[in-house]
């Protein structure tokens, strides 16, 4: 099997106005000048998906949505279909982020339906998993993450249309990160489960997310079975995001 191409994705969350597209332009300039081997993506708020796709056209940087509805169309005020993201120029859709699971009560079943919708529309689903601090302290991390993986991945998932992102909930936006040994343990368990369920399980990319920053990216990206990163706050500025790209994007 071919080596897994690293993937670094920035999740802007509920941040960014039209003026923020200048950061995407700046990132594109860095890519043009240095040509990283990693695949890069930015997931801005829905209001910027189309504009960012136009801004980054031809740059080699993909654009994604931060969520999608399970249905292709219908009476779902305020929601966005995966087909709409695709039409706007998106290549990815993040589904099951812990903030969606917590703030909107999304179950594994709902996340699985959204991943299927992303596949239906021709998008790569970035499926997020992760434990809370209470679950970590109770020694339930592998049980929780394994259950989320089984429940959130549809049967049509494969290494081409699905990426896994492990984001310990207690590390997102807190400045705290697991030890390298803890990251390695979870990623190894995810890999084992993927290989047991899917013929191409060894080819799925598994990203680490949760307070990934320029000063810890190199260590985190060197961990076995960490194929890249899903980056939050540090992706809002090109100069902060680029050192993370450098940590995994060049041989």
Active site residues: 97, 167
Alpha-helical runs (H) found in 69-179: 82-87, 98-104, 108-121, 133-137, 141-152
φ, ψ of residue 193 in degrees (nearest 5): -65, -40
Rounded CA-CA distance 244/65 in Å is 21
| Tokens representing residue 125 in the block | 């689903």
53-65: b or e for each residue (b if 16 or more CB lie within 10 Å)?
Answer: bebbeebebbbbb
| Nearest C-alpha neighbor of 52 from the set 80, 92, 99, 8 | 92
| Tokens representing residue 135 in the block | 């679950």
Q: Would you say 164 and 127 are in contact if contact means Cβ atoms under 8 Å apart?
A: yes
């Amino acid at each position: 099997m071919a080596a897994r191409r690293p993937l670094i994705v920035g999740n802007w969350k509920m941040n960014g106005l039209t003026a923020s597209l200048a950061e995407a332009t700046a990132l594109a300039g860095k890519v043009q000048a240095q040509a990283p081997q990693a695949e890069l993506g930015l997931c801005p708020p829905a209001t910027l998906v189309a504009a960012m796709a136009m801004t980054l056209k031809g740059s080699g940087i993909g654009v994604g949505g931060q969520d999608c509805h399970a249905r292709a169309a219908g009476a779902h005020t305020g929601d966005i279909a995966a087909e709409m993201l695709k039409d706007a120029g998106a290549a990815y859709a993040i589904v099951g982020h812990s903030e969606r699971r917590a703030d909107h009560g999304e179950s594994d079943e709902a996340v699985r339906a959204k991943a299927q919708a992303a596949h239906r529309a021709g998008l790569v689903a970035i499926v997020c998993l992760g434990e809370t601090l209470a679950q970590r302290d109770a020694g339930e991390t592998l049980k929780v993450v394994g259950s989320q993986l089984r429940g959130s991945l549809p049967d049509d998932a494969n290494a081409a249309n699905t990426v896994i992102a492990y984001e310990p909930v207690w590390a997102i936006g807190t400045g705290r990160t697991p030890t390298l040994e803890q990251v390695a343990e979870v990623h190894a368990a995810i890999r084992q489960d993927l290989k047991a369920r899917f013929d191409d399980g060894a080819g799925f990319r598994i990203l680490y997310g949760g307070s990934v920053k320029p000063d810890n990216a190199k260590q985190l990206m060197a961990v076995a079975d960490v194929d890249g990163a899903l980056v939050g706050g540090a992706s809002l500025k090109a100069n902060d995001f680029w050192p993370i790209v450098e940590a995994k994007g060049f041989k």
